[in-house]
Amino acid sequence: MLLPNLFRTEYGKIVAVLVRSFGIARVGIAEDIASDTFLIAAETWGTKGLPANPTAWLYTTAKNRACDLLRREGVFVNKVQPELQRAPTTCGIDEPDFSPAGFKDSQLRMIFALCHPELNTETQVALCLRILCGFGVGEIAAAFLTSKDTINKRLSRGKNRLRKVMTNLELPADSELPTRLDGVLTTIYLLFNEGYYSTGTATNFRRDLCADAIRLTLMLTRNDLTDQPRVSALLALMCFHTSRFDARLTDNGDLIDYDDQDRSLWDERLVRQGSRYFERATAGGAVGRYQLEAAIAFMHTSPNPGPDKWPNILALYNRLLMKAYSPVAALNRTYALSRVHGAQAALNEALKINLRGHLGYQLLLGELYVQLEDEKLAQYHFNRALTLTRNPAVRRRITAKLAGCNQA
Amino acid sequence: MQDFMMLFRSEENPTERPSPEALQAEIKLWEAWIGGIAAQGKFLSSEALDYTGKTLMADGTVTDGPYTELKEIIGGYILLKATDWDDAVALAKGCPVLSAPGGKVEIRPIMDLG
């Protein structure tokens, strides 16, 4: 298991350092060198055994291959090209920096590049999964219920676009930094949610995705430029959620309702870690959307909550919606309302929010009508929900709920 | 969708200072009402106004506390979107100012100068 684990943690770092050295135009070459490095490792380690320091071995191999390439390019750029067009071109290539500081700097620049506002969200997510997290095109395609061909096209369009907007992983200007950081956080949060909530893909893939989102956010907290309270808040939020990762899935990947989870599987260590980041996030008095979401997530980590739990959660959702509207927050607020003021009050509010095409909306209405013992309308909304998802695990849950309605 | 401003008017006693607990409870009521509007994606912004104030007259004089002669005071505002007048009035229902002495919500469409 060593090599796959190393691939998961080191591939993205190596690509980032190489692109920092070669420029964004050669991102394809950087990816090839990083892939080749792991291929050579698999062959060499298989026959000659493990090197004493595997990561150092990987870096040396990647660096040697990069230097070979640079030498060949150097010859071409410095000697051949001027002869061809008489226009002296500067080589502009630095030797790749595989030091800890080099990794730190390159990865930060890389995540800002891949989350560039010139790229649409799905392209940002695909590029991050491929280049920063080292996922295969097949895995990415499976996660988004699409074909490898579609993902390949998305990746190459994204890289072409990046070549047009930057040359060498430039960091955003100071004036743009807050907005660009928000963009990065949004994309990391999407990666996390894909791992946490999608039930269509293999559990291992999803666990890796959550771990990667946490790893990338941790990286942001370790750079002075990006160590902002909202970054710590996002980190806290993800730790709190991830503490229930194992408790919320059956062996075959089906979701277990919160109330039915085995609390002994909740990971207290992650809750404590999250609490430390939450303290950092709120120490300066900042209360943004991620602080509010982290506070809500924290409310769910207590195995023995008091009677204030749901009124507190409802109040936090009210404040969250005032900061930033999202359909998910609107639906969760309505659910919290049902826990505090009952199903009828929640239904009155639910009917005012227009999210008919939203799976969660139809499920919520179904649940509220079940509580109000109106099985006809409950069935209607569960059937609507069925038309809104292709995910087999979710469909199984809805079908089970429909069966429950018929028995009533 | 049309943008509206709602002004919260009441005849509350500006010199009355509520206890911190009462203030917290009051804030919760306002957040609950605004949360319902925000859950519909219609909330834009809102502020509460302090009861102190000054008024600048055309002749340059500045007076303290313009409210001595007026019983009514504007306690704050909300900017929001509504589909039409009916929707705006429906959204105003449940505003906590309506429980205050002489409380009312003035609903005004934002003029489109585009």
List, in sequence order, every residue forming a beta bridge with B81; answer none if it has no partner. B3
In chain A, % of residues over pLDDT 70? 94
Q: At B36, list the tokens.
A: 């319902």
Taking the CA atoms of chain A, what radius of gyration do you get in angstroms?
Answer: 24
- Backbone torsions φ then ψ of A259, nearest 5 degrees: -70, -20
For residues A32 and A38, give the distance between their C-alpha atoms in angstroms, rounded to a whole number: 10
pLDDT at A254 over 80: no
CA angle B29, B33, B36 (to 5 degrees): 140
Distance CA A271, CA A239 (A): 6
Rounded to 5 degrees, φ, ψ at B107 are -110, 120
Torsion of CA A199, A204, A206, A210, to 10 degrees: 150
Do residues A324 and A339 make contact, with C-beta atoms less than 8 angstroms apart?
no
Which residues of B are less than 8 Å from A315 in CB distance? Answer: 28, 31-32
Q: Using the beta-carbon criterion (under 8 Å), do B32 and A318 form an inter-chain contact?
A: yes
ipTM value for the complex: 0.88
Query: For residue B114, is it within any domain?
Result: no
- Nearest residue on chain A to B44, alpha-carbon basis: A322
The answer on pLDDT for A80 being more than 80 is no
For residue A334, the chain B residue with the least C-alpha distance is B39
B40 interfacial to chain A (CB closer than 8 Å): yes
Q: Which of B28, B38, B40 sits opposite A322 (nearest CB)?
A: B38
pLDDT band at A167 (very low <50, low <70, confident <90, very high): confident
What chain A holds in terms of domains, given with CATH numbers, is 1-88 (1.10.1740), 103-216 (no CATH), 228-305 (no CATH), 321-408 (1.25.40.10)
Q: Do A318 and B41 touch (CB under 8 A)?
A: no
Write down the pLDDT at residue A319. Answer: 96
Query: How close B22 gets to chain A, by Cα (Å)?
Result: 16
Distance from CA of A330 to the nearest CA of B (A): 5
Contact A349 B43 (CB under 8 A): no
Q: Determine the residue among B30, B31, B89, B93 to mutate to test chain A binding: the one whose Cβ has the most chain A Cβ atoms within 10 Å.
A: B31
Name the residue of chain A whose CA is nearest to B31's CA.
A318
B62-64 vs B73-82, strand pairing mode: unpaired
What does the pLDDT read at residue B30? Answer: 96
- For A321, the closest chain B residue by CA position comes to B38
pLDDT value of residue B90: 97
A352–B36 CB contact, under 8 Å:
yes
pLDDT score, position A87 = 42
Residue A82 or A283, more confident:
A283
Flag whether pLDDT at A83 surpasses 60: no
Distances B23 to A134, A164, A238, A399 between C-alpha atoms, Å: 52, 55, 33, 47
Q: For residues A367 and A362, what is the distance between their CA atoms, to the nearest angstrom?
A: 9
The overall average pLDDT reported for chain B is 90
Ramachandran sector of residue A23 (left: φ over 0; alpha: ψ -120 to 50; beta: rest) = left
Task: Mark yes or no for CB contact B39/A314 under 8 Å.
Answer: no
Q: Of A196, A283, A289, whose CA–CA distance to A234 is shortest? A: A289
Q: Say what the pLDDT of residue B66 is.
A: 57
Residue A88 confidence (pLDDT): 41
For residue A392, the tally of other CB atoms under 10 A from its CB is: 12
What is residue B39's three-state secondary structure?
Answer: helix
Residues A101-128 have a mean pLDDT of 94
Give the total number of structural domains in chain B: 1
Asked whether residue A86 carries a pLDDT value surpassing 60, the answer given is no
| DSSP conformation class of A264 | G
Tokens of A60: 């040396």
Which one of B34, B40, B41 has the shortest CB-CB distance to A318? Answer: B34
Q: If DSSP codes are grouped into helix, strand and coil, which group holds residue B7?
A: strand
Q: Output the CA–CA distances (angstroms, integers) from residue B82 to A110, A309, A325, B92, B104, in the order listed.
A: 42, 32, 15, 10, 19
In this prediction, residue A91 carries a pLDDT of 45
pLDDT band at A90 (very low <50, low <70, confident <90, very high): very low
Q: How much is the pLDDT for B64?
A: 80
Chain A contact present for B39, CB below 8 A: yes
Nearest residue to A12 via CA among A101, A146, A99, A104: A104
Does the beta-carbon distance from A330 to B40 stay under 8 Å?
Answer: yes
Residue of B nearest to A324 (CA): B38
Give residue-wise pLDDT tens across range A259-269.
899 999 999 99
Decide if B35 is inside a domain: yes
Q: Please, which pLDDT band fits residue B1 given cuts at 50, 70 and 90? A: very high
Say if the Cβ atoms of B43 and A315 lie within 8 Å. no
pLDDT for position B55: 87
CA distance B55 to A56: 72
Q: How far, in Å, CA of A113 to CA of A123, rounded?
A: 12
DSSP state of A131: I
**Chain A within 8 Å of B82 (Cβ-Cβ)?**
no
**Closest residue, chain B, to A333 (C-alpha):** B39
Distance set, CA A82 to CA A23, A67, A69, A167 (Å):
20, 22, 19, 21
Query: How big is chain B by its Cα radius of gyration, in Å?
Result: 16
Q: What is the mean pLDDT of chain A?
A: 90
User: Lowest-pLDDT range, A377-381, B10-14, B34-38?
Assistant: B10-14
Provide the domain limits for residue B19: 2-109
Identify the bridge partners of residue A324 per DSSP, sorted by sequence position: none
Query: Tokens at residue A352, please?
Result: 């005012």
Q: What is the largest CA-CA distance in chain A?
A: 85
Per-residue pLDDT of B72-106, as tens digits, reads 889 999 999 999 999 999 999 999 999 999 999 99
Integer angstrom CA distances of residue A280 from A80, A179, A299:
55, 21, 18
* Model confidence pLDDT, tens digit, residues A195-243: 888 766 677 888 889 999 999 999 999 999 999 999 999 999 999 999 9
Please report residues of B whose CB lies closer than 8 A to that of A325.
38-39, 41, 43
Partner-chain contact A330 B39, CB within 8 Å = yes
Q: Which amino acid belongs to residue B1?
A: M
Cβ–Cβ contacts within 10 Å for residue B11, how many? 14
What pLDDT is recorded for position B67? 60
CA distance A296 to A290: 10
Question: What's the CATH code of the domain at B84?
Answer: 3.30.70.1060
Report whether pLDDT(A283) > 50: yes
Contacts of A318 in chain B (CB under 8 A): 31-32, 34-35, 38
Neighbours of A351 (CB within 10 A): 11
Residue A26 has pLDDT above 70, yes or no: yes
